[in-house]
Chain A
Amino acid sequence: MKKFSLVLGILGLLLTSIPVFAAQQTFTVNMGVSARAKLTLGVSAINFPDADPDAIPSIAAIENAISVTAKVRTGLSSIATLTHRATGNLSAGSGITIPIGNVTWTATGAGYVAGAMSSSTDVQAGSWTGSGSYSGTFSYFIVNSWSYVIGNYTVSSTYILTAP
């Protein structure tokens, strides 16, 4: 019995001393992501055709609906914004103008909002929380009034996409 126990004891010691044949090395992966904003509009200009104000009190731009894509990289909880501002009223020269506030837009797509143009303040056109690529459309309309003086009007405006 003693011999038997001795053999079992030796066997046990041998079995519990079996090593693990493995080696490990660590390896670190780093990445830096910076804020970034990219705005793409389907067209760079819109045109409102002439029309009878009684028949068509609100004129749609020929180019409607215009595609828009806002791509941003920002913080997890940061809010990216898209704003619009005109440089002034629609002008045909020599003080002949149409109030820029008569031009409005509707919007489709997550985060995009409708608005009316302004030359005195930045008007919000969209906002999103966190990074991503956001697509939508803008459709523009102008009040069609008998009070408009004849002429060819133009104005430039700017969209600004901000990723904090």
Chain B
Amino acid sequence: MKKLLFISILSIAFFISYEIQSALAQNVTLGIPNPSSITFNDADPDLQPLLSSTPNSVSLDIKISGNPGSPWKLTHLAAGDLSPSIPISNISWTVTPQPPFVNGSMNKTVAQTAAQGVGNVNQTGTFTFRITNLWTYNTGNFSVVTTFTLSAP
């Protein structure tokens, strides 16, 4: 009986080890956003109620291998608002190609999905960012750091 128990536990251990070894073959690579920063320049809110960033587009490489049949996701999360008068949620993006990339808006509390899929992936997304331009924005120069996270599964 003891031998049977021992063999069972050992089998489970080897099985788990095999699964881990399979998982270890996964490779998740997230390229550096190009460019790594954007700027929204000042403009008359009446003439330009929606501002595009400078530069106008940002490319991002996502690569996942060794992930057959398992889901993956790219998310985006901001560290905070641009300023007390400029909510980060006023910034939205459109992105190609769709799928796997998806449009969205920035958020400082909940990571937003920017791309998702199943299995392996090797794609470059091109993001275009825009901000609602309001008279309520107070003057100043503002900056916020955000994070893209690519994960599998």
Contacts and interface: CB of A to CB of B under 8 A. Distances in A.
Interface in A32-47: 32-36, 38
Interface string A76-87: 101000000000
Interface string A22-64: 1111111111111110100000000000000000000000000
A25 B31 contact: yes
Contacts of A29: 37-40, 53, 78, 82, 88, 91, 106, 129, 143-144, 146
B134 to A, nearest CB: 8
Contact of A21 (B38, B139, B153): B153
Interface string B128-140: 0101000111111
B136 A22 contact: no
Interface string A7-18: 110110011011
A132 B40 CA distance: 19
SS of B interface (majority): mixed
B37 A14 contact: no
A28 B36 contact: yes
A10 B88 CA distance: 47
Given A28-B144, A29-B146, A14 B137 contact: no
Nearest to A23: B30
Contacts of A33: 42, 86, 137-142
Interface in B56-106: 58, 60, 67, 76, 78, 82-86, 88, 91, 106
A3 B16 CA distance: 18
B153 A31 contact: no
A130 B20 contact: no
Interface of B: 5-6, 9-10, 12-13, 16-17, 20, 23-24, 26, 28-33, 36-42, 44-46, 53, 58, 60, 67, 76, 78, 82-86, 88, 91, 106, 129, 131, 135-153
